[in-house]
Structure 1
Amino acid sequence: MTAFRDSGPPPGADAADTHRPAVVVITDLVVLAKHLRLLDAAGRRGLTPLFVFGPETPADELARHRRDPHHPLSRLADDQVRHVTDTSLDTLLHGVAPWLRDRQVRAVLNVGEVFVEAAGALARTLGLPGPGTHAARVCRNKLLQRLAAPALAPRWTLLDPARTTAPEGWDTFPAVLKPASRMSSSGVRAITGPHALPPLLPGYGPGELLLLEERIAGAEFSVESLVRDGAVLWAGITAKDTNESDTSFFTETGHTSPAPHLTPAQESLLLDANTEFLRAVDFGTGMSHTEFRLTAGNRVVLMEAAARPPGDAITRLWRLATGMDLDAALLDLALGTEPATAPPRRRARQVYLDHPRGLLADVTAETAPVHWVGEQGRWPDLPPAAQGTPPRDHAVLVSRHRGDLLGDQSDSQGRSVSVVLDGPLDADLDRAAHEAARRVTIHTVPPAAAPDTPAATPAPTGEAVR
C-alpha cells in the first residue's frame, strides 16, 4: 500500500531536469507559504527543488495552488512533488526513494516541525549537513531538553496522565502543565494549585508524557541561530508577547526582532544560554529556535527548543531588521556553505489581534494591504527598507479562511489576524503597532447566519473588533 498521495501535475509543467543536482525540501503547505523564496534560491544555485508535503497539507489546496499560474508551486513538475500521509521515517523514505535512486541529491532541508526527526535521520544517513539525529530527537521532546541541559531547566516532574492529583512531594505552585511533544502552545495550561490539575487530565491522550513545571515569572524571548558544524555563525534575540496575563493559556501574540530594552549583559546571558543548549544537544548544521524566560534576577530558563526555522513571521521580521535573505541562508547551510549574515539595522514587529467570536467574514484595513495567507497559500514578499525610513505598516496577515469559526486563542492555531510593521531601532514600535492594529477591523457573523458554503464571503456586517 502506498504511503503518499499524488496531487496531480500542474498544467503545462515541464519534466524536471533529472541531470541537475537537487535539494529535497520537507515541509507542509502552511509553512512553505512563508518560504517560497526557496524556489528562486535553488534556481540561482543550479538546483532542482524537490518537495515533500506532509499530512497537514490538504490535498485539494495543494492541487489548487499548483494549478494556479500565479502561484510559485505551479512551476513544479509532477515529479518534483510528493505528498505523504504521515511523518514517519519509513513513509518519508518511501516517498523520496525514487529521487535518491535517480538524482544527485545535494541537500535535505526541513522547514517544519513535524518532520524534524525523520529529516534529521535522512540527512545524517546521506552524509549531508543537518542538525543531527540526536539534536533533532531532543528538540522534539521537552523532557529530553530538560535532561540534556539541566542547568537551564525549570524545576519539573513527570506526570502520569492517569493520576488525579499532583505528584507526591510536588509543592511548587503556580505551575505549568505542558505536553512533552506537542507544538504551537497546544495543551500548555497554567496550574494555580493541586485542585486545578485533575479536571485537565482527561484532555490529554493516554500515555502522553506530561510535564508539571514551576511557572517562571519573567519576559519571554527566543534566540534564532544559523549554525554550521556546531559553530553559531549568527544569532538574534526576539522578544515575545503572550496572552498569559489574562487567560490560562500561553499563546504567543507578538514578536519583536531584535528584542528592545535589553542591556548588553542580558543579551549576553540569552546568547550564552542558547550556545550552551546547542552544545549540549550536539547541534550540527541548520537554523535553531530556542525559547527562554529571563527573570527579574537575570536567571535564564529554557522553555523549549526547535531544530528548524521559527514559526509565525519571525524569519520575515529578521529580514526586515537585517536585510538578510534567510531562505537563501537556510539553503546555503543545507549545502554545507556559509551563508551571508548581517547585524540588525531596523526593528520589526508582528502583533496578533484579538478577534470576536463567530464565523470569519472579512478583514479590512485602512492602510496596509490585507493578505489571506491561509487561503492563498503564500505570504507577501516584505522587502527591507532603508535604515532611517519611518515606521511603516507592511501587511495585515490573515492565517484563517473565510467561514472559519473564531473562538479562544488557546494555542497558535486559534489566532486569526496579525499586523507586521517595522521602523528604526529607536522607534516606539509598541505605539506604532497599537496604531496599526486600530486601523484593522475583523468582521464576523454568527454561526446561524452562515451561508451553506463556508468558503463564501458574507457581507462584512455583524460584530467587529479593532
Structure 2
Amino acid sequence: MTAVVVITDLVVLAKHLRLLDLAEQRGVTPLFVFGPETPAEELARHRSDPAHPLSRIPDEGLRHVTDTSLETVLRAVTPWLREHAVRAVLNVGEVFVEAAGALAQTLGLPGPGTHAAQVCRNKVLQRLAAPALAPRWTLLDTTRSTAADGWEVFPAVLKPASRMSSSGVRAVMGPAGIRPLLPDYGADELLLLEERIEGREFSVETLVRDGSVLWAGITAKDTNESDTSFFTETGHTSPAPHLTPDQERLLLGANAEFLRSVRFGTGMSHAEFRLTTDDRVVLMEAAARPPGDAITRLWRLATGMDLDAALLDLVLGIEPVIASPRRRARQAYLDHPRGLLADVTADGVPVHWVSERGQWPDLLPIPKEAPARGHAVLVSRHHGDVLGDQSDSRGRSVSVVVDAPLDDDIDAAVLGATWSITIHTVPVEAPEEVVR
C-alpha cells in the first residue's frame, strides 16, 4: 500500500485538512505525525467527532509525539516504512522542518533538502547563506554582557534566531534599549541585533521542483510596528498591490537568489523581504514550508489554484496545476478590546471559530469580475481566552478574508466587510459571563 507521511501539528493541519481527500484521490494513504503543540485532548475530541475529517484517520495511521527531534520522528515512522511503500514525506508546519527534511532526503524522496531545511530554521544561517540580501547584523556574545558594544546602527531590531510567529522580535531605538529586553529571552537563545529596515514588507511564496521555480507569488504584508515596538503581522494581500514591474522583478529575483544559495530542492518556500524606498531588497527571514495565516487561501481566491494540491503533487512527483492572479484577496486582522473573549458577531459574513473547531472553512474562488465579497471571519482564539497586546502572532484573535476584482479598491472592500464585525469581551474578573 502506497502512502504519504504528513508531519504537522493540529493548529496547522486545520488549514490543510483537504490533504486527506487529495491524497485519497491520488491513490495514496495519508499517515499523520502530530507534534507537541497539539493538545492530546483536542486531538481526541476532533477524532471522536464524525463531522470532523480527523475522525476518518484510523489509529494505526496516526502518531502523536512529544518532541520534534529527528530521533522521535524516526521512532514514529519506522514501523510505517515496513508496512507501506512511502512515496512522500510532507511537512506542513515550522517545527518539524529539519526532521522532515532529513527523513525525506535519506529515503531518496522529494523535499527541500537537509541543508535548506536547516538554514530556513535559523536566521543567522540565512544571513550567512545570502549575505548580499542580509541587513547589517551582529550576533550578541554568549554572556550578553557587552551586548551594545561596537554596534552603532540604530534604530535596530533584536530577534531570536530560531523562533517563529514574530515571537521575541523587538524594536530598539538606542544602546540603552537593549539590556532591559534581554531577560525576555532564554539564556541559551541565539540573538540577532540588526539594522531596522524601513520599507514595505512582502512575502514570496514559491513552488520549487529540483531547484527550479515553477510558480512564485508576491504577498504584501501589514504589521503593527508603526504603533508599537512589536512586528506582528496584521494583514496579507495576494497578489501584492502597488508594485511596478521592476519592483516585482527585484523581489522575485531576490527570492530566486536565496533559494539558490540554500540549494532548495523540492517543495514550497515562504520568504519575507523588505523593499526600501530606493528599491533595495532585504531578506527578513525564510521558511521551507507553506505560509502561515490564510495566505494559501488568499492565493486560491486570487488565482483559483489549489496550493494544497500543488504541494502534495510536488512531493509525489506529479506536475502541479498553476495559475496567474485574476482577483486580489486580503486577510485583515482586527484590533480587539481587552478582556475575556466572549463572542464574535458579523452581519453578512460567516464567523468560523477555527481554533476551537480544529478546522478552517474551504473558501472557494468566484468569477473574476464578481463584486467584492467578504468570505469569512476567522476566530483564532477560544471562548474565554484573555485578549491583550498583539505582541506576536499568537496574540491576534479575529481576522476577515475578502477578495475583489484585481482593479477594484481592496481597502474599501475590507472596510465594507469589517464595519459590522464586533468582538465581544467581558472583564477578566467576570469569567462566568463568557458564553461557551
Name the TM-score class by shorter chain.
over 0.9
Give per-residue Cα distances to partners, 1:21-47, cap 9 Å, x unaligned: 000000000000000110111011001
Note if contact 2:2-2:29 (Cα within 8 Å) is conserved in structure 1. Answer: yes
Q: Is the Cα–Cα contact under 8 Å of residues 269 and 287 in structure 2 kept in the other structure?
A: yes
C-alpha distance in 1, partners of 2:430/2:329? 38
C-alpha RMSD over aligned residues: 1.0
CA separation in 2, counterparts of 1:373 and 1:161?
41
Q: How far is the alpha carbon of 1:164 from its aligned partner?
A: 4.4
Q: Which of 311, 333, 356 lines up with 1:375 in the alignment?
A: 356
Offset, 1:338? 2.0
From 386, 407, 410, the equivalent of 1:426 is: 407
What is the match of residue 365 of structure 1? 346
Take 1:401 and 1:102, find their aligned partners in 2: how far apart are those partners? 39
Name 1:10's counterpart in structure 2: none
Cα distance in 2 for residues equivalent to 1:363 and 1:277 = 41
Distance (whole Å) between structure 1 residues aligned to residue 104 and residue 198 of structure 2: 39
Q: Deviations over 1:292-321 (max 9, x none)?
A: 000000000000000000000000000000
Matching residue of 1:443: 424
Select 1:311's aligned residue among 292, 296, 308. 292
Which position in structure 1 is the counterpart of 2:49? 68
Structure 2 counterpart of 1:59, from 19, 28, 40: 40
Within the candidate set 165, 171, 174, 2:152 is matched to 171
In the alignment, is the contact (CA less than 8 A) between 1:65 and 1:73 conserved in 2? yes
**Alpha-carbon contact 1:368-1:396 (below 8 Å) kept:** yes
Whether the aligned pair in 1 keeps the contact of 2:148 and 2:178 (CA below 8 Å) is no
Aligned position for 1:297:
278
Aligned residue for 1:385? 366
Q: Which residue of 1 aligns with 2:27?
A: 46
Name which of 315, 318, 324 aligns with 1:343. 324
The amino acid that maps onto 1:401 is: H
Deviation at 1:437, TM superposition (A): 1.6
| 1:116-168 CA-partner distances (Å, limit 9, x unpaired) | 00000000000000000000000000000000000000000001363245442
Secondary structure class of the residue paired with 2:365: coil
When normalised by structure 1's length, the TM-score is 0.92
Secondary structure in structure 2 of the residue aligned to 1:146: helix
Asked if 1:226 is matched to 2:226, the reply is no
Instruction: Quote the residue 1:92 is aligned against.
Output: 73
**Aligned 8 A contact 1:162 1:201 in 2:** no
Rounded Cα–Cα distance in structure 2 between residues aligned with 1:441 and 1:267: 37
- Letter of the structure 2 residue corresponding to residue 262 of structure 1: L
Question: Are the aligned partners of 2:157 and 2:194 in contact in 1 as well (CA < 8 Å)?
Answer: yes
Q: 1:258 is matched with which residue?
A: 239
Conserved 8 A contact 1:382-1:394: yes
Work out whether 1:83 is the aligned partner of 2:64: yes
Distance 1:366 1:168 in 2: 55
Q: TM-score, normalised by structure 2?
A: 0.99
Q: How far 1:367 sits from its partner (Å)?
A: 1.1
| Contiguous gaps of at least 5 residues in structure 1 | 1-19, 459-466
Percent identity between the two aligned chains = 78
State the secondary structure of the residue aligned to 2:158: strand
Contact 2:141/2:147 (<8 A) preserved: no
8 Å contact from structure 1 (residues 175, 191) kept in 2: yes
Does structure 1 residue 28 correspond to structure 2 residue 9? yes
Please give the per-residue CA displacement for 1:357-397, whole angstroms capped at 9, x wherever unaligned.
Answer: 10000000011000000000000010000010010000000
Regions of 4+ moved over 3 Å: 164-167
* Aligned-partner residue type, residue 365 of structure 2: P
Matched, 1:331 2:312: yes
Is 2:90 the partner of 1:109? yes
Q: Where does residue 211 of structure 1 map in the other structure?
A: 192
Residue-pair matches, total: 436
The 8 Å contact of residues 352 and 376 in structure 2, kept in 1 or not, is answered as yes
The 8 Å contact of residues 207 and 215 in structure 2, kept in 1 or not, is answered as yes
- Please say if residues 176 and 191 of structure 1, whose CA atoms lie closer than 8 Å, have aligned partners that are also in contact: yes
CA-CA distance at 1:447 after TM superposition: 1.1
